[in-house]
Structure 1
Amino acid sequence: MGRKRVVIAGLGDTGVLTAIRLAHQADVVGVSVKPGLVSGQELGARLARPDDWARDYWIGFDRFRGLDRVRTVHGTLTGMDLAGRTVEVARANGVLSRESYDALVIATGVSNGFWRRPTLQSTGEIGAELRAAHERLAASESVVVVGGGAAAVSAAANVARAWPDKRVALYFPGPRALPGHHRRAWARVRRRLADAGVALHPGHRAVVPAGYDEITSGPVTFTTGQPAVPADAVLWAIGAVRPNTDWLPAELLDAHGFVRVTADLRVPGHRGVFAIGDVAATDPLRSSARNRADGLLARNILAEFASRPLREYRPPQTRWGSVLGAQPDGLEVFAPTGHAFRFPAWSVRHIVQPWIVRRGIYRGVRG
Structure 2
Amino acid sequence: MTRPRVVVAGLGDSGLLTAIHLARHAEVVGVSVKPGLVSGQELGTRLSRPDRWSRDYWVSFDRYRGLDGVRTVHGDVTGLDIDCRRLSVRLPDGTIEEESYDILVIATGVSNGFWRRPTLQTSGQVDAELRSVHDRLASAHSIAVIGGGAAAVSSAANLAQRWPSTRLDLYFPGDRALPQHHPRTWRRVERILRDRGVGLHPGHRALIPADSELTEITDDPVTWSTGQPDATADAVLWAIGRVRPNTAWVPSTLLDDDGFVRVGADLRVPGHDEIFAIGDVAATDPLRSSARNRADKLLARNIRAALAGRRLGSYRAPRRRWGSVLGTQPDGLQIFAPNGPAFRLPSWSVDTVLQPVIVRRIIYRGIRRRTGGTSPDR
Segments of 5+ residues of structure 2 without an aligned counterpart are: 370-378
Could you tell me the TM-score, scaled by structure 2's length? 0.96
Matches within 5 A, 1:189-268: 189-209=189-209, 210-268=212-270
User: Hey, what does 2:340 align to over in structure 1?
Assistant: 338
What amino acid sits opposite 2:263 in the alignment?
Answer: V
| Aligned counterparts of 1:328 and 1:53: Cα–Cα separation in 2 | 14
1:272-302 per-residue CA deviation (whole Å, 9 max, x = no partner) reads 1000000000000000010000000000000
User: Hey, what does 1:174 align to over in structure 2?
Assistant: 174
Per-residue deviation at 1:118? 0.1
User: Hey, what does 2:276 align to over in structure 1?
Assistant: 274
| Aligned counterparts of 2:126 and 2:60: Cα–Cα separation in 1 | 12
User: Hey, what does 1:83 align to over in structure 2?
Assistant: 83
Per-residue deviation at 1:354? 0.2
Matches within 5 A, 1:287-326: 287-326=289-328
Per-residue deviation at 1:336? 0.6
1:15-50 per-residue CA deviation (whole Å, 9 max, x = no partner) reads 000000000000100000000000000000000000
Per-residue deviation at 1:94? 2.5
1:229-274 per-residue CA deviation (whole Å, 9 max, x = no partner) reads 1110000000000000001111000000000001100001112100
| Aligned counterparts of 2:339 and 2:7: Cα–Cα separation in 1 | 37
Query: What SS does structure 1 have at the residue aligned with 2:286?
Result: coil
| Aligned counterparts of 2:251 and 2:75: Cα–Cα separation in 1 | 19
Query: What SS does structure 2 have at the residue aligned with 1:73?
Result: strand
| Aligned counterparts of 2:214 and 2:69: Cα–Cα separation in 1 | 40
Cα pair distance change 1:127/1:345, threshold 3 Å: same
Could you tell me the TM-score, scaled by structure 1's length? 0.99
Per-residue deviation at 1:95? 2.2
Answer whether contact 2:48 2:162 (CA < 8 A) is retained. Answer: yes
What amino acid sits opposite 2:241 in the alignment?
Answer: G
Per-residue deviation at 1:218? 3.1
User: Hey, what does 1:94 align to over in structure 2?
Assistant: 94
Answer whether contact 2:113 2:213 (CA < 8 A) is retained. Answer: no
Per-residue deviation at 1:119? 0.1
| Aligned counterparts of 2:52 and 2:74: Cα–Cα separation in 1 | 25
What amino acid sits opposite 2:138 in the alignment?
Answer: A
Q: Is 2:59 the partner of 1:59?
A: yes
Per-residue deviation at 1:212? 1.9
User: Hey, what does 1:139 align to over in structure 2?
Assistant: 139
Number of residues of Structure 1 aligned to a counterpart in Structure 2? 367
What amino acid sits opposite 1:200 in the alignment?
Answer: L
User: Hey, what does 1:69 align to over in structure 2?
Assistant: 69
User: Hey, what does 1:110 align to over in structure 2?
Assistant: 110
What amino acid sits opposite 1:345 in the alignment?
Answer: S
Per-residue deviation at 1:211? 4.5
| Aligned counterparts of 1:183 and 1:337: Cα–Cα separation in 2 | 9
| Aligned counterparts of 2:208 and 2:95: Cα–Cα separation in 1 | 38
Query: What SS does structure 1 have at the residue aligned with 2:261?
Result: coil
| Aligned counterparts of 1:253 and 1:172: Cα–Cα separation in 2 | 30
Segments of 5+ residues of structure 1 without an aligned counterpart are: none
User: Hey, what does 1:21 align to over in structure 2?
Assistant: 21
Answer whether contact 2:145 2:239 (CA < 8 A) is retained. Answer: yes
Query: What SS does structure 1 have at the residue aligned with 2:283?
Result: coil
Q: Is 2:160 the partner of 1:160?
A: yes
1:95-134 per-residue CA deviation (whole Å, 9 max, x = no partner) reads 2111011100000000000000000000010011001100
Per-residue deviation at 1:328? 1.2
Answer whether contact 2:50 2:130 (CA < 8 A) is retained. Answer: yes
